[in-house]
Amino acid sequence: MVIEKVELRYVSLPLRTPFETSTARETHKDCILVTVTSEGQRGWGEAPVMLEPLYSAETVETAWHVLRDFLIPLAKVSPEPAAFAKACSIFKGQQMAKAGLEAALWDLQCERRGASLSSLLGGTRKEVEVGVSVGLEPEVAEILRKVREYRERGYQRIKLKIRPGQDRDLLAGFRSEHDDLPLQADANCAYGAADIPHLMSFDEFDMVLLEQPFPGEDLVSHIALQKKMNTSICLDESVSSVSLARQAIALKACRNINIKQARIGGLSAAVEVHDLCRDQGIDVWCGGLLETGIGRFHNLALASLPGFCLPGDISESGRYFEQDILQEPIVLNENRNIDVPDFAGGVDRLVCVESLKRYTQRLDVF
């Protein structure tokens, strides 16, 4: 296979409502879409970076630079997705940039082979269970109102964003209204080691898990909390590679891992982490980064692998966008799950050219 052309697009889609975590407030989904072309066929990928280095060290500008100057030249030499993933490991970090281009190569592979991405990755599910992530608001009542709406829509698990000063009252309010609904809480690194006694008190809320209470590099505090807490600790920002997943499991820093293929460095690495966790008895689920329909399409294929035993953060595209990049929105099916795309080929046939033009802020063609 010869890569004849690569296109980078910086797109910015307005969100229906702002989405706030302990570290950031987003009003738009900014990301880089990567398109690779070979013999008239195109593959699409998404690097869901932010404008500011608030979730990871990567931004739109840094990822653009790394893709342009290092990864695109490498893809010309190693165009097969697995070979590309192995070759680009010589470059430190840059996980989302790597993931965006690798996803495009996988998507192109689907076109060339006439196969679905789920089948190429080893997926076994035709539909996946999904939950919804609810961002922070100034008032607990507004968050609980949104929770009621999502439950009526049919979401089977709720994840609440929390931070110091906005945690116990919110969790208690949720449980007073929904004593039977699976609950997760996500701190996005907002707490410190001194907060361990406070976090231990969350056991009373009967949560599925508590996600990433401490900064990503602080495995020591996660180990200490998991030893004392009945609730399962889930790692997100701490696991940015296969080797870090292996370390976290060996050190008993968690009982769950949120697998985001963009954070880990691509679909190949995500499958490897999935396999590792399955072998070690660690429950995993597929996280999201407010991706457009392109990234969401690829996340669904990943979540179809057999080890994903908890509802993912994939959600309907209408949860975030008035108008997505895809022609048809991703929606809940009659079972309140989301169908895994199973047609032969990649996402190219679904891309809405009008939306692409409308939301593209910058385009470079190589």
- The catalytic residue among 76, 126, 161, 228 is 161
Distance CA 35, CA 26 (A): 25
- How far apart (Å, rounded) are the C-alpha atoms in residues 278 and 256? 11
Q: What angle do CA 45, 238, 120 make, to 5 degrees?
A: 35
Q: Which residues lie below 8 Å from residue 109, measured CB to CB, with a gap of 6+?
A: 43, 80, 81, 115, 120, 346
How much of the chain is in helix, strand and coil states, percent to nearest 5?
A: 40, 20, 35
The pair of three-digit structure tokens given for residue 192, joined into one six-digit string: 């410190």
Q: Which of 29, 98, 159, 260 is catalytic?
A: 260
Tell me if residue 260 is catalytic.
yes
Please indicate whether residue 86 is annotated as part of the active site: no
d(CA 360, CA 364): 11
- Number of CB atoms found within 10 A of residue 14's CB: 13
User: Can you name the residues that pair with 214 across neighbouring β-strands?
Assistant: none
**Cα 48-356-3 angle, rounded to 5 deg:** 70
Q: Identify the helix (H) or strand (E) that includes residue 267.
A: helix 267-280
Instruction: Report whether 246 contacts 239 (CB < 8 A).
Output: no
- Give catalytic residues, as residue numbers: 161, 260
